[in-house]
Amino acid sequence: MIKFCCYLLLLLAFSLSVQAQPIPGWLLELENLKYRQPEQSLAMLTERQHEFASQPDLVKAYWLRQQAALYSALGRHQQQQQAARQALELLDGTESALKVEVWYELGYALEMQMQLDEAMRHYQQGTALATLLDDEKLILRGQVNQAAIMSEQNNDQQALALLKAVYQRAELLQDQEILAEVNAQLGLMYSSLGFENDALEFLQRALGLYQQLGWVKNEIAVLFNLARTYSYQEQYHLALEHYNQMLQGSLNANDNVNLYHAYLGLAITSAEMRRTEAALGYIEKAEQYLPHLQSNYHVQSHHYEKALIYRDLAQTSLAMQELLLAEQAAKQPADQADHVALAIILLRAELLAQQDQYQRAYLALHEFIDGFQLLRNKENELALAHMRLEFDSERQQVRTSLLEAENELKALRLQEVERKRQIQLLWLAILGCTSLILFGIVLWQFSRRGGKPRRASNDVPL
């Protein structure tokens, strides 16, 4: 009771501090503007940067959270990470929805830099705090983020089950933002699993919701996933159509990050259609926007895709140069892109063989086999660890069920003992009542027999 009262007092003190330190109106306006015009929103923050130092800690934390979200929209994930960490330092010792949102910003920044384990940890921290605060919307957002990490870590079934549960709860909540987010993630999930028709249904629904919200950045991202899904179905003309829509939207929004992805998508689709010259032109346009992406993983993937195009053009030397650039990007410690790294090694073996360097090609192929085996072992170890966790969980559930059954049996036994005791008391009461009745009858009969001689003696004549 004392702890509960202390907790209430802390919440009251925090709410009073919030009222005493209101967020400036211009800063609150960025909440919706950042989804439509992130560049303009960041410019507003930059213009007022001289006001930051004089603000209370709560306002500073809110400021940094908005800044992190803007950096996220602009693909500047290293700066997003820095802003989120600074905000968390200011919110140390507090429990609020703002802190949950900062956890999610930090998790997303790390996810985009392929630091998946740490990202998952921050998503879980945010979701736990949202659960404590009983904020359903933030809980669902956190679970969507966790599902995305599970998918990246090849836990597809677990991710899909979680997303389906979130979808059902989002339908009950009827929050447009959450519905858009979970539909987009489910579409991406089904696309990666090869269920393209289901993916298209969810992605189209997400696109409509984002258009209603006016969130241009999210619309563009969904268009990218739609185009990629059509490409998986080999409906290349529809894929090109959606990439061009994405390109036009990115040009209108002056979105350099999505301009890169649009041109890259056009390049890959053109290559799949055997339009290799067009593919080279598109990927060179994409390269102009590559510096805007603060991710070594994207740099690595870009040079790998360009090497594939040069290979198709039979320009082996240029393809080898692109592979060297991809391998240099892969050496950055923040990246764990094992699958892409193996693809690079396999392509290098193929290119070396085309150059008649069979010994080096053999060594590269041997390196690929060793790497593939290590990757399989790692995945098997992860799968085994996951199975052990599931087994431990099931065993704990069985133990809990047995304990519950044992407790129920004990309760039933106690009830049976109590019932027997009550029956015994009832019989004792019946026996006692019967005894009293019989005793009363005996006394009555005894008194009646004693009265008859007296009446006889009284009737004797004198």
Q: Contact at 8 Å (CB) between 297 and 111? A: no
What pLDDT is recorded for position 101?
Answer: 94
- Per-residue pLDDT averaged across 43-64, rounded? 88
420 or 388, higher pLDDT: 420
Q: Is 254 exposed, middle or buried (0-12, 13-18, 19+ CB in 10 A)?
A: exposed
pLDDT in tens, 151-173: 888 788 888 889 889 888 988 88
Alpha-carbon span 372 to 343, nearest angstrom:
10
Q: Which distant-in-sequence residues (6+ apart) come within 8 Å of 173 by Cβ?
A: 136, 137, 140
- pLDDT, position 450: 58
The predicted pLDDT at position 337 comes to 45
- The CATH code of domain 19-38+52-134 reads 1.25.40
Rounded to an integer, what distance in angstroms lies between the CA atom of residue 412 and that of residue 393? Answer: 28
- For the chain, the distance separating the N- and C-terminal CA atoms, rounded to the nearest angstrom, is 94
| 211 neighbors 219 (Cβ within 8 angstroms) | yes
C-beta of residue 126 within 8 angstroms of C-beta of residue 142: yes
The percent of residues above 90 in pLDDT, for the chain, comes to 29
Whether the per-residue pLDDT at 12 is higher than 60: the answer is: no
CA dist., res. 312 & res. 127, Å (int): 47
Residue-wise pLDDT for 244-298, tens only, equals 999 998 888 888 888 999 999 999 999 999 999 999 999 999 999 888 876 777 8
Residue 48 has pLDDT above 80, yes or no: yes
Tokens coding 12: 């009251």
Query: What's the whole-number average pLDDT of the chain?
Result: 80
Q: Over pLDDT 70: what percentage of the chain?
A: 81
Question: What's the confidence (pLDDT) of residue 394?
Answer: 53
pLDDT in tens, 102-123: 999 999 999 988 888 899 999 9
Please report how many Cα atoms fall inside a 13 Å half-sphere around the Cα of residue 16, on the Cβ side.
6
Token pair listed for 103 = 């956890």
* pLDDT, tens digit (0-9, with 9 covering 90-100), for 319-337: 888 888 888 876 654 444 4
Among the listed residues 313, 334, 309, the one whose alpha carbon sits nearest the alpha carbon of residue 323: 309
pLDDT surpasses 70 at 460? no
Single pTM value for the model = 0.68
Q: How confident is the model at residue 36 (pLDDT cuts 50, 70, 90)?
A: confident
- Token pair for 6: 């202390």
Distance CA 140, CA 276 (A): 43
| Number of other CB atoms surrounding residue 161 within 10 Å | 13
What confidence score (pLDDT) does residue 323 get? 85
Q: Is the pLDDT of residue 41 over 70?
A: yes
Binning pLDDT at 50, 70 and 90, where does residue 413 land?
confident
Which tens digit of pLDDT belongs to each residue from 128-154?
Answer: 999 999 999 999 999 999 999 988 887
Tokens read off for 81: 């990470």
The domain ranges of the chain are: 19-38+52-134, 320-381
* pLDDT for 9 beyond 60: no
Res 21 pLDDT > 70 = no
**What is the Cβ-side half-sphere exposure of residue 320, based on CA atoms within 13 angstroms?**
12
Check pLDDT > 70 for residue 462: no
* pLDDT score of 456: 41
Rounded to whole angstroms, the Cα distance separating 413 from 408 reads: 9
Under the banding of pLDDT at 50, 70 and 90, the label for residue 207 is very high
